Amino acid sequence: MESLSPAQPPAASEARCPAHPQKPVLGACARCGTFFCEYDRETVNGKDYCDTCAEHPDVDYLEAFRLKYWGKRDAWTWLVGFGAVFNFFAGAIILANELVNKDTGNTGLLLGLIALVGSGVGVCFWMGMPFARLALCFVPIASLFVSGFVAGAEAVGRGIWPVIITFVMYNNTRNKLFFKEEVSREALQKAWHLYSNNTVARAGFMLSFLSLLIGVLAPISLLCSIIGLRRVNPTATPPVGRKGQAIAGIVISSVSLVGWGTFFGATLLKMLLR
């Protein structure tokens, strides 16, 4: 009697999707390994996933970043909000002074009105009204012209900086997300790298420079940089980078630690030898 041969697994072309048996398998999910067909496949950042894993925050980390800050006020928005309060009181004081001293001309009236208009635009900006985002760019420009007319070229030189700051703010990705504007994945990638990619290494790198001036920060920056370096994993999802900053933070912190240690050691030795 002939022995029966074991059943052979189906060929790759004959494999069927578990969720849709009528469809052939196209591949396996890069995260969980589940087979998928054309109905289940989702491509995120160049990798194929099943539809369930594609929605996971660790997979589409750029979408998770976008949703995290969607409609949320950023530092620029709060700065504009505080500036609106300041402009309101400044404009009110200037106008009150203009009404009391009517012989000073229309200069104070014009400056007071500009300050109050800027305050109103700032409040609308803080509240997230779409028109205020562009309108805020024209407030320092109008103030620049008025200041130049009143105080001359010196005031124009000082007024350039608010114009530059407002245009930087206008192009800021976080600020666009607060106003619920769509941004490209390239812009999201840059913003994610700036705000979310290995923040410990970034903190260690920034603290290392401060440690050159404030010695007590050297151990903290060194520890943060070491932890940040250990976290680096460019093949992870999402990738963990900033290896260069972590190494630089370790080097600078070590130099600061040695320098301040030598300084305090020499000072202590002098005191003991007296």
Q: How confident is the model at residue 103 (pLDDT cuts 50, 70, 90)?
A: low
Give the span between the Cα atoms of 84 and 157, in whole angstroms: 22
pLDDT at residue 57, rounded to an integer? 63
Q: How confident is the model at residue 1 (pLDDT cuts 50, 70, 90)?
A: very low
Which residues contact residue 40 at a Cβ distance below 8 angstroms, ignoring those fewer than 6 apart?
17, 19, 20, 50, 51
Q: Does residue 245 or residue 273 have the better pLDDT? A: 245
Residues forming beta bridges with residue 42, ordered by sequence position? 49
Whether 84 contacts 126, CB under 8 Å: yes
Digit-coded pLDDT (tens) for 173-198: 999 999 999 899 899 999 999 998 99
pLDDT at residue 83, rounded to an integer? 92
Going 229 to 231 to 234 to 240, the CA torsion angle's sign is negative
Assessment of whether the complete model's pTM goes beyond 0.75 = no
Digit-coded pLDDT (tens) for 212-232: 998 889 999 999 999 999 999
Instruction: Calculate mean pLDDT across residues 128-135.
Output: 92
pLDDT at residue 268, rounded to an integer? 81
Give the span between the Cα atoms of 59 and 56, in whole angstroms: 5
